[in-house]
A = this chain, B = another copy of it.
Amino acid sequence: MVKKNQPDDASLWSSESIRNLIRTGQHTAHTAGLAPGKLQCNLAILPEAYALDFLRFCQRNPKPCPLVGVGETGDPMLPTLGNDIDIRTDVPRYRVFRNGAFAEDTINISELWTDDLVAVALGCSFTFENALMRANIPVRHIEMGRNVPMFRTNIDLVPAGPFRGKMVVTMRPLHQDQIEQARAISARYPQAHGAPIAVGDPSAIGICDLAKPDFGDPVDIKSDEVPVYWACGVTPQNVLRAARLPICITHAPGHMLITDVAEDAETTIFQK
């Protein structure tokens, strides 16, 4: 992956340089740790006929679905998120769904792009995880080299048109003494799921067994730790699938859109 005139460590590359590698098929792996300080996004591409309802759904469910960018209908460029972002090529791996069923996994959707599609970018948990780690709060799944554990809950989402369902959460175990600080830090990032939605007893939000996540990997919870739950970007993906749209395209888990927007910017609108 190393190119001339670039530092050896990819984590030091600029967001634009990394997007260029992704666009040209030279980086097809996950994006965790890349372009530190830059907002990374979940992706949902859907036909315009469903876009108004989906934006209403995101507005009504801002914790799992923090809206950070929306393209024009039929236009694959996302200028409000950075320089020359082409959503057909600039995400390392996509998932395509037809009528709610998984259709294919691909690294380029240029052939699938049509004039009626709208690209929607939603914030992701990398942002507050980076901030937790800067404050020396441990993030267990990263320590263990695993995917974050994710769980379906019994928390109803606020519906909009065909979009409805239950919230999916991520879980990170923390020592009691760290919870208030973790809450305060993540609350600073409403564009990235914000503060936790629950702390403690998993059954209170409909989770049966923390050792058996619905998505991702289980992580160790030490005897003096408490599970802390944040709203998760898998929520809109599940809701989109359940709505059985004729076509819907998302990023593959962990393979996010890297933007040029600073994670700590007051708004998610890119300023040159």
Contact = CB atoms under 8 A, between A and B. Distances in A.
Interface of A: 48, 51-52, 55-56, 59-63, 67, 69-70, 72-73, 80, 158, 160-161, 187, 190, 194-195, 266-269
B48 A60 contact: no
A187 B264 CA distance: 12
A67 B59 contact: yes
7 contacts: A48-B52, A56-B70, A56-B72, A60-B80, A72-B161, A190-B190, A194-B266
B187 A266 contact: yes
Given A194-B266, A266-B187, A266-B190, A59 B70 contact: yes
How many monomers of this protein are in the complex?
2
B62 A269 contact: yes
Q: Which of A70, A161, A194 has the most CB of B within 10 A?
A: A70
A266 B67 CA distance: 15
A48 B69 CA distance: 21
A121 to B, nearest CB: 10
A187 B266 CA distance: 8
Contacts of A51: 52
Given A59-B69, A62-B267, A195-B266, 15 more contacts: A48-B52, A51-B52, A55-B55, A55-B70, A56-B72, A59-B70, A60-B269, A62-B268, A63-B267, A72-B161, A187-B266, A190-B190, A190-B266, A190-B267, A194-B266
Nearest to A80: B60
Nearest to A55: B55
A106 B266 CA distance: 37
